[in-house]
Amino acid sequence: MTTIINVPHSLEDKSFELVLDQVAPLPLDEKIIVDTRHARWASPYGLTALLALAQSRAERPVLYVPEAENVSTYWSRMDFFKHAAELYELQGRVRSTKAAESSVLLEVTSISKSDDVHSVVDKIQQRAQDALVKNLNLDAKITMRFTMALSEVCQNIVEHAGRGGWVAVQTYTWRVRLGGRKVVVIAVADPGIGFRQSLESAPGFQRKERWDDGQALEETVMRGASRFRDPGRGQGLAGVRRFVGNWDGKLSIRSGTARIAVLPKGDWDEDEPLVEDLAYFPGAQVQITIPERVA
């Protein structure tokens, strides 16, 4: 049996839940067709999560590629199809990239080992200064902090996921929520063991009375818990939290059936700090959003 998974026109962190609602009930070995033909836009989160979705399936899925030329071209420019071709059976016309897309800070990039993190950091440093300082009016100090945050969330894949994942970074104008303000978004997605299973693998781990994906996210993100006994562990995400707090940004992490968010001080986002009982999706999907500074 084959099930068609309809992908919404606009594919980002929230609308990706609609995809997961369709996929989660299906057996892992059931063939799926991920239909993106009518997609009009995808955030870095949407693209990286689509790749993680394919990795999570036992049976190689089919991807119907977007029909709109500009969408297909853009996904090519983001290197999405380059990776998708290894995970999906692509059907439809994949258009090659034409012109350089200046809003792309980092194309969809595979992360599975420490060297990959070095490559990402080297690449982003060259591009981030202009994008963050000139285009988003952010203080020059942000470049190093931004790169540190990127490095830490990528390392989570290498250190904890148990399998490879993806990262992408892009700037764009957020028309609805920020009234035309620009944002820079880091998205990192993996289909690995996720936060709960990672903590459960800690030596001497004892399950609490209430223990679920939401608790695991709270322990890790808010209290710096780690599966390692080494007290030096767990600092990376704490640093990322400080970073988003200092720049009025937002950090959201989805793992298993829950999503936790460190919300901005400003009023540009109305997300809930913790959302539970979501459709199950393995691994972790991280999004960091930093908005343009306005006078």
Please report, as ranges, the residues that interact with another protein according to CB under 8 A: 114-115, 117-118, 121-122, 125, 141, 144-145, 147-148, 151-152, 155, 158-159, 231-233, 235-236, 238-239
How far apart, in whole angstroms, are the C-alpha atoms of residue 146 and residue 125? 9
Least CB distance to another protein at residue 122 (A): 7
Q: Which of 139, 173, 174 is nearest to 247 (CA)?
A: 139
Q: Closest CB to another protein among 17 and 159?
A: 159
Q: Which of 79, 21, 84, 27 is nearest to 52 (CA)?
A: 84
Residue type, 26: L
Q: Closest CB to another protein among 15 and 155?
A: 155
Tokens 């695991």 -> residue: 216
Q: Closest CB to another protein among 94 and 120?
A: 120
Least CB distance to another protein at residue 239 (A): 5
At 270, list the tokens. 């109305």
How far apart, in whole angstroms, are the C-alpha atoms of residue 188 and residue 279? 19
Q: Do the bridges between strand 274-275 and strand 281-291 make them parallel or antiparallel, or are there none, so unpaired? A: unpaired
Residue type, 193: I
How far apart, in whole angstroms, are the C-alpha atoms of residue 172 and residue 170? 7
Q: Which of 48, 40, 42, 31 is nearest to 9 (CA)?
A: 40
Residue type, 292: E
Q: Is 255 helix (H, G, I), strand (E, B) or coil?
A: strand
Q: Is 253 helix (H, G, I), strand (E, B) or coil?
A: strand
What residues contact 175, with CB distance under 8 A and at least 6 apart? Answer: none
Q: Closest CB to another protein among 34 and 111?
A: 111
Least CB distance to another protein at residue 144 (A): 4
Least CB distance to another protein at residue 113 (A): 9
Q: Closest CB to another protein among 95 and 160?
A: 160
Least CB distance to another protein at residue 290 (A): 16
At 160, list the tokens. 């904890």
Least CB distance to another protein at residue 108 (A): 20
Least CB distance to another protein at residue 151 (A): 4
